[in-house]
A and B are shown apart, each in its own frame.
Chain A
Amino acid sequence: MAATSASSSSPSLIDTLFQRSLDDVIRVLRSSSSAALEAAAIARALDEIRREIRSPDLDTKVVALQKLTYLASLHHFDMSWAAFHALELLPSTSLPHPRAAYLAASLSFHPSSTDLLPLATHQLRKHLAPSPSNSPALAAPALHLLALASSPDLARHLAPDLLPILSSQSSSNPLRPKAVATALRTLAVCPDTAPVLFKPLVECLSLSSDPRAVSAAIGAFCELALAAPDPSPYLPLAPEFYRLLVDSRNNWVTIKVLKIFARLAPLEPRVTARIVDPVCQLLRCSPAKSLVFECIRTVFSSLLDHDAAVRLAVDKIKEFLASEADPNLRYLGLQALNMLGPAHSWAVEDSREVVIQSLNDTDTNIRREALRLIMGMLCDSNVVDICNMLIKYAIKSDPEFANEILDAVLSTCGRNVYELIVDFDWYVSLLGEMVRNPHFAKGDEIERQLVDVGLRVRDARPELIRVARNLLIDPALLGNPFLCRVLSAAAWVSGEYVEFSRNPLELVEALLQPRINLLPPFVRAVYVQAVFKILAYSFISFIEQIQAGELLAIGNSLNQRGGKQEGSDLVAAKSSSDQNNAFELEDGVATADKAILFDSIEKQETFKHESISCLLNLIETVVGPLSECGEVEVQERARNVLGLILIIRGTQFWNIEEEHELTRDNKITKIVELMEASFSEELGPVSTNAQKRVSVPEGLILNENLSDLLDILGDDDINPCASVSFSFRNHHSTETNQDSASAIGPNSLLAEHRKRHGLYYLPMDKDKSESNDYPCANEPLLPVSHGEDTEDIVKLPAQSLIPEKAKPTKPRPVVIRLDEGDGVSRSNLSTAKESKDDMLSGAIRDVLLRNEKKPSSTHKTSSDRTSQRRENDASENSELISQQKESNSFGDREHGNSSSRKSRHHHKERIESSGQNRDNEEKSHRHSAKSSRHHRRHKHRQREDAPLDIVPQSPVIQDFLL
Chain B
Amino acid sequence: MIHFVLLISRQGKVRLTKWYSTYSQKERTKVIRELSGLILARGPKLSNFIEWRGYKVVYRRYASLYFCMCIDADDNELEILEIIHHFVEILDRYFGSVCELDLIFNFHKAYYILDEILIAGELQESSKKTVARLIAAQDSLVEAAKEQASSVSNMIAQCVAAHCRPLLDNRVEERGCS
Binding site for B on A (CB under 8 A): 21-23, 26-27, 30, 59, 66, 69-70, 73-78, 80, 94-96, 99-100, 103, 106-107, 110-113, 135-137, 140-141, 143-144, 147-148, 174, 177-178, 181-182, 184-185, 212, 215-216, 219-220, 223, 226, 249-252, 255, 259, 287-291, 293-294, 297, 327-328, 330-332, 362-363, 365-366
- Tell whether A294 pairs with B76 under 8 Å between CB atoms, given A137-B142, A184-B122, A365-B49: yes
Q: What CA separation (Å) do A294 and B120 show in the bound complex?
A: 22
Q: What CA separation (Å) do A288 and B23 show in the bound complex?
A: 34
Q: B119, A144: Cβ atoms under 8 Å?
A: yes
Q: What DSSP secondary structure best describes chain A's contact surface?
A: helix
List chain B residues, Cβ under 8 A from A144: 115, 119
Kindly identify which residue among B49, B120, B138 contacts A185, using a CB–CB cutoff of 8 Å: B120
Q: What CA separation (Å) do A99 and B127 show in the bound complex?
A: 24
Q: What CA separation (Å) do A105 and B69 show in the bound complex?
A: 21
List chain A residues, Cβ under 8 A from B76: 255, 259, 290, 293-294, 297
Q: A215, B123: Cβ atoms under 8 Å?
A: yes
List chain B residues, Cβ under 8 A from A99: 142
Q: What CA separation (Å) do A249 and B28 show in the bound complex?
A: 37
Q: A26, B104: Cβ atoms under 8 Å?
A: yes
A-B pair count, CB < 8 Å, reads 181
Q: A96, B105: Cβ atoms under 8 Å?
A: no
List chain A residues, Cβ under 8 A from B141: 95, 135, 137
- Tell whether A290 pairs with B142 under 8 Å between CB atoms, given A74-B17, A76-B25, A252-B126: no
Query: Can you show 14 pairs from A to B with CB atoms below 8 A apart?
Result: A27-B157, A95-B146, A137-B141, A141-B115, A181-B124, A182-B119, A216-B122, A226-B72, A251-B176, A252-B177, A255-B79, A289-B175, A328-B48, A362-B45
- Tell whether A74 pairs with B49 under 8 Å between CB atoms, given A181-B120, A181-B124: no
Q: B130, A251: Cβ atoms under 8 Å?
A: no
Q: A26, B105: Cβ atoms under 8 Å?
A: yes
With an 8 A cutoff between CB atoms, is B63 at the interface?
no
* CB 8 Å contact bits of B38-73 with A (1 = contact, 0 = none): 000001011111110000000000000000000010
Task: Count chain A CB atoms within 10 A of each CB in B120, B126, B146, B156 and give the residue with the most.
Answer: B120
Q: Which B residue sits closest to A188, measured CB to CB?
A: B120
Give the Cβ gap from B165 to chain A, nearest Cβ, in Å. Answer: 16
List chain B residues, Cβ under 8 A from A94: 145-146, 148-149, 151
Give the Cβ gap from B147 to chain A, nearest Cβ, in Å. Answer: 11
With an 8 A cutoff between CB atoms, is B32 at the interface?
yes
Give the Cβ gap from B149 to chain A, nearest Cβ, in Å. Answer: 5
List chain A residues, Cβ under 8 A from B116: 140
Q: A223, B115: Cβ atoms under 8 Å?
A: no
With an 8 A cutoff between CB atoms, is B19 at the interface?
yes
Kindly identify which residue among B22, B111, B146, B149 contacts A103, using a CB–CB cutoff of 8 Å: B111
Kindly identify which residue among B23, B115, B178 contacts A140, using a CB–CB cutoff of 8 Å: B115
Q: What CA separation (Å) do A70 and B32 show in the bound complex?
A: 16
Kindly identify which residue among B81, B120, B126, B154 contacts A182, using a CB–CB cutoff of 8 Å: B120
Q: What CA separation (Å) do A406 and B151 show in the bound complex?
A: 68
Known contacts A26-B104, A215-B123; 12 additional CB pairs below 8 A are A23-B157, A30-B104, A75-B14, A144-B115, A216-B124, A226-B72, A288-B176, A290-B82, A290-B177, A327-B46, A328-B47, A328-B49
Give the Cβ gap from B1 to chain A, nearest Cβ, in Å. Answer: 6
Q: Which B residue sits closest to A262, measured CB to CB?
A: B74
List chain A residues, Cβ under 8 A from B74: 226, 259
With an 8 A cutoff between CB atoms, is B77 at the interface?
yes
Q: What CA separation (Å) do A137 and B137 show in the bound complex?
A: 8
Q: A110, B22: Cβ atoms under 8 Å?
A: yes
List chain A residues, Cβ under 8 A from B95: none
With an 8 A cutoff between CB atoms, is B94 at the interface?
no
Give the Cβ gap from B59 to chain A, nearest Cβ, in Å. Answer: 11
Q: B119, A147: Cβ atoms under 8 Å?
A: yes
Q: A362, B46: Cβ atoms under 8 Å?
A: yes
Q: What CA separation (Å) do A177 and B1 show in the bound complex?
A: 16
Q: What CA separation (Å) do A288 and B176 show in the bound complex?
A: 5
Give the Cβ gap from A257 to chain B, nearest Cβ, in Å. Answer: 12
Q: A251, B108: Cβ atoms under 8 Å?
A: no
- Tell whether A76 pairs with B104 under 8 Å between CB atoms, given A219-B122, A294-B79: no
Q: B107, A327: Cβ atoms under 8 Å?
A: no
Give the Cβ gap from B151 to chain A, nearest Cβ, in Å. Answer: 6
Q: A148, B157: Cβ atoms under 8 Å?
A: no
Q: What CA separation (Å) do A46 and B34 show in the bound complex?
A: 26
Q: A148, B24: Cβ atoms under 8 Å?
A: no
List chain A residues, Cβ under 8 A from B164: none
- Tell whether A96 pairs with B145 under 8 Å between CB atoms, given A74-B17, A112-B24: yes
